[in-house]
Structure 1
Amino acid sequence: MALHWHGYAWIGNGGIPDAQRRPEPDTGFRGNDYPPLVTGHWLLKPPRLVRGTWDAAEDAIAWLREQYDASPETGGPTLETRLWHATDGLPRGNDVTWAYWLGGGRFAHFTVVSCPRPLAPAIPCPAGRN
């Protein structure tokens, strides 16, 4: 199966209880849109949360940049540094998360998850591709 990527975006109150970010029974994990504690667990969330699916890493990186441009960070790594890490990591099957505070208690969380997951083959592709 060829490597591809799924994008996820979440902006909200940064005070999310960790229990709701774990895929354990009765935590509400699968029904909420909160970012999971483990990046690859985004794939366990409902497919409606997928913001994009790409066959080329460059397209996934362009999406990350669009998200950043719409909700820019006011500190932390530069955009150039973020882009460098995404360009280096995604083609090798690494996930990329850009997460940062926006102010006023709001938090932005943009993730591109590599799929399929060789180290977690039981996690299905939300697009049914693996």
Structure 2
Amino acid sequence: MKGPVHHHAYTWIGSGSDYGTDSLRRPTNAQFSTLSVAPIEPANWLLKSPKMIKGTFTEAAAALAWFEEQIRAYAQSFDSDYQKSEAAIRSHVDGAQESIKIQRDAVGGWWMNGGSSFYSVQLVACPNFFRLEYACPQPPG
């Protein structure tokens, strides 16, 4: 891997139809880099405008705290009663902790408003284990 791993933070909340339109979520779309919709492959966030980065974390604890904060901010809006529960939130946070520990992406996504909206929270490792060829959009600093 090139350089120390850090994580870029991304969120997206938007229309369920946009989320369900694969062509909007692929880098082959001419407008991909400027569209804020969450990409199909988490590493592809690194191909989008750096303006979409919500934060950059070099410390695992800070990245995890951000991830949990994002989930808790919207949990009561999730469609599934189970996904609103403390057990589900804890499970997502624990999974993110494991992913961060091994320097991988941490990803969460939830349907809201009866399926008309989708909420995505992602911490994308950079350099990315699966896409080493992607340049870092914004080095930590």
Pairs aligned (count): 128
Q: Secondary structure at the match of 1:24?
A: coil
Q: Give SS of 1:75's match.
A: helix
The 3 A distance-change label for structure 1 pair 101 and 45 is same
2:95 to 68, 85, 88: 85
Gaps of 5+ in 2: none
CA separation of 1:118/1:100 partners in 2, compared to 1, >3 Å: closer, same or farther? closer
1:38-53 matches, cutoff 5 A:
38-53=41-56
What is the percentage of aligned positions where both structures have the same residue? 29
Q: By how many angstroms is 1:119 displaced?
A: 3.8
Instruction: State the 1:45 CA deviation.
Output: 0.5
TM-score (norm 1): 0.91
TM-score normalised to structure 2 length? 0.84
Q: Deviations over 1:15-48 (max 9, x none)?
A: 121101100152x111100100111001001000
The 3-state SS of whatever aligns with 2:82 is: coil
2:5 pairs with 3, 6, 22, which one? 3
Q: Flag structure 1 segments of 5+ consecutive residues without an equivalent.
A: none
Establish whether residue 21 from structure 1 lines up as the match of residue 25 from structure 2: yes
CA RMSD of aligned residues (A): 1.5
1:110 aligns with 121
Matched-pair contact (CA < 8 Å) for 1:10–1:34: yes
For residues 36 and 2 of structure 1, what CA distance do their matches in structure 2 show? 24
**Higher relative helix content:** 2
* CA contact 2:43–2:130 (8 Å) conserved in 1: no
Runs of 4+ in 1 over 6 A off after TM superposition: none
Cα distance in 1 between the residues matched to 2:129 and 2:119: 28
